Amino acid sequence: MTLHVLTGGAGFIASNLIHRLIDLGETVFVLDDLSRGRPDFWAPFQGRPRFRSAIVDCADLQAFRTALRDAVGDGDIAAVWHLAANSDIPAGIADPRIDLQRTFMTTFNTLVLMREFAIPTLHFASSSAIYGDHGETAIHEDIGPLEPISNYGAMKLASEAQIRAAVEAFLPKANVVRFPNVVGVPATHGVIVDFVDKLQATPHTLDVLGDGTQRKAYLHVEELVDAMLFIAAHAQGRYNVFNVGPPDQGVTVRAIAETVRDRVAPDAEIRYGTGGRGWVGDVPRFRYATDRLAALGWRPRHDSIGAVRRAVDQIAAQERGRG
């Protein structure tokens, strides 16, 4: 038996990836400490022969090692999809130990165990946050200097550096995939969920952090998972780095607020804050160059606004069901 290991396996993106890997006939072992994940995302898979799960803190090396040993038995691990990280960026600004543990140490320990268990391939969920603020410049993978402005971005960049060194020392292959803002369901966090929840609580007003001019690229999670699987199948080098996302100018927070308002509470008044940033550590605008992935043969079908509109419909339905 050959396993695919997913760290952060009870998270938003991982729950989409689990579906796709199982559909492809793979057996998955998912680990999560449930700091931000939702065990109910595992409910559709529980009891299926190609699904195993464990509640484990991957920053705890011994617990992580024991869980892997128990799951693998006398089989093999084909790859680790390392998605565990802190996804609450403001929380990581308030307390830097959160990103040290959840974003960096989970990566460090993943690499220690990949060496011990001789696991050949790592797929790493990196982020546009590693680049810092490059204004209107289209960001390609080799741009510099890399000056992240959040602890989350700093610990993702440190993770990438550790992975690069591991490839030099022992790791046969690593694919580093730098996600943009990812939207879709089952959503647990992010700007669309915030706006939908606020409007469900107070249907007459929507308070927006910042002046609404922040503009970023958005990708639907279904397309992101598609891209990850495409890269896994087609990237040839030992160490591969890809931006993934639409190569457009992105969508403003104002456009997202209006789309959510129109969908959830059309009579609500939108009240903007001041300043071009939502919070400390928020990169106010970024735009991706994605020529490298396009040259490999993958492009998203939707642009940023298309991804946002689809996600708003899905998240509004999801939150109505939960409310």
Distance CA 151, CA 160 (A): 14
Sign of CA dihedral 125, 85, 5, 193: negative
Q: Which helix (H) or strand (E) holds 51?
A: strand 51-55
Q: Does 87 bind ligand NAD (CB under 6 A)?
A: yes
Q: 156-185 mask for ligand NAD (x: CB under 6 A)?
A: -----------------------x-xx---
CB-based contacts of 53, cutoff 8 Å, min separation 6: 9, 10, 29, 30, 31, 32, 42, 45, 46
Q: Does 37 bind ligand NAD (CB under 6 A)?
A: yes
How far from chain centre, in Å, is Cα 243?
13
| CB nearer ligand NAD, residue 185 or residue 268 | 185
Q: Does 151 bind ligand NAD (CB under 6 A)?
A: no
Minimum distance between the CB of residue 17 and ligand NAD, rounded to whole angstroms?
9
User: Which residue from 53, 106, 110, 121 is in contact with ligand NAD, where contact means CB under 6 A?
Assistant: 106
Q: 108-137 mask for ligand NAD (x: CB under 6 A)?
A: -----------------x-x----------
Q: DSSP label at 132? A: B
Stretch that binds ligand NAD, among 26-34, 46-54, 165-173, 251-259 (CB under 6 A): 26-34
- Using CB under 6 A as the binding criterion, the count of chain residues that bind ligand NAD stands at 29
Residue at token pair 């998972």: 225
| CB nearer ligand NAD, residue 36 or residue 309 | 36
Q: Does 319 bind ligand NAD (CB under 6 A)?
A: no
Distance CA 56, CA 188 (A): 20
Distance CA 187, CA 138 (A): 28
Q: Does 58 bind ligand NAD (CB under 6 A)?
A: yes
Locate all alpha helices (DSSP H) within the chain, ordered by sequence.
12-23, 61-72, 89-94, 97-99, 106-116, 151-169, 191-201, 221-234, 253-264, 291-296, 304-322
The phi, psi pair for 215, rounded to 5°, reads -135, 120
Stretch that binds ligand NAD, among 29-37, 160-168, 263-271, 306-314 (CB under 6 A): 29-37
Q: Does 10 bind ligand NAD (CB under 6 A)?
A: yes
Instruction: Please give the residue ranges that form the binding site for ligand NAD (CB under 6 A).
Output: 7-8, 10-14, 31-37, 57-59, 83-85, 87, 102, 106, 125, 127, 179, 181-182, 188
